[in-house]
Amino acid sequence: MTINEDMLPVMEEFYSLQGEGYHTGEAAYFVRVGGCDVGCYFCDVKEAWDAALHNPTNVYDIVERASQVPSKAVIVTGGEPMLYNMNKLCSLLKEKGIRTFLETSGSSPLSGVWDWICLSPKENLPALSEFYQVAGELKMIVCHENDFERAEYHASKVNAKCRLYLQPEWSERKRLTPYIVDYIKRNPKWKISQQTHKYIDIR
């Protein structure tokens, strides 16, 4: 499979509401690309990991479909979107007056022009320093009670305007949420993020 900036291995596209982080509740067109080299054990879209399973899709077609929905916002997620060159996709979306939002672990070099970047660093592969300077939000997934120290490490590296979120890993949410609530009460620079799309049963 040959992938360049005109083609992306897209797993799925859909119109829905953002369920997590700063833009929770906002309508957006989602583009989920296949391929990920991070491999988090708690990932809820493991079927996105193998890029070869997902057909190369022309970015012009993606933009055409995205431009048909009422919301002028596109969220590119994965998988890991930064495994691919996003310059063409972002340029075409901008020409249509569509805002661009990125969800990334930050483990591969930045490409594209983004109105908002959600950085969610993982343990398996470190985030590159360039992402800390441009992230609009830092979303740390809390899997264990001792993950707060790791969250603070990453928070110390982001820019001053970056919003800070702690999100419980879904399968452990009932056990971990009280710890997160207590931590935020003691450290109010953080906010809690919940996967609200799962609670209301939407994509």
| The pLDDT value given to residue 203 | 87
pLDDT band at 140 (very low <50, low <70, confident <90, very high): very high
DSSP 44-70: S-GGGS-GGGS-EEEHHHHHHHHTTSS
- Judge whether residue 1 has pLDDT over 50: no
| The pLDDT value given to residue 63 | 98
Phi (first) and psi of residue 95, to 5 degrees:
-60, -25
| The pLDDT value given to residue 45 | 87
Q: What is the pTM of this model?
A: 0.95
Percent of the chain's residues with pLDDT above 90: 88
Whether the Cβ atoms of residue 183 and residue 190 lie closer than 8 Å to each other = yes
Q: What is the pLDDT of residues 2-28, one digit of tens each?
A: 467 899 999 999 999 999 999 999 999
| The pLDDT value given to residue 190 | 98
Task: Tell me the average pLDDT across 68-85.
Answer: 97
- Judge whether residue 100 has pLDDT over 70: yes
Mean pLDDT of the chain: 95
- Judge whether residue 101 has pLDDT over 60: yes
Whether the Cβ atoms of residue 127 and residue 107 lie closer than 8 Å to each other = yes
- Judge whether residue 139 has pLDDT over 60: yes
pLDDT band at 42 (very low <50, low <70, confident <90, very high): confident
List of residues 6+ apart from 186 with CB closer than 8 A: none
List of residues 6+ apart from 176 with CB closer than 8 A: 142, 143, 145, 168, 169
Task: Tell me the average pLDDT across 136-161.
Answer: 97
Whether the Cβ atoms of residue 191 and residue 163 lie closer than 8 Å to each other = yes
CATH number of 7-199, picked from 3.20.20.70, 1.10.10.60, 3.40.50.300, 3.40.50.720: 3.20.20.70
| The pLDDT value given to residue 29 | 98
Residue carrying the six token digits 């070869």: 52
Answer positive or negative: Cα dihedral of 4, 18, 124, 38. Answer: negative
> What ranges do the domains of the chain cover?
7-199
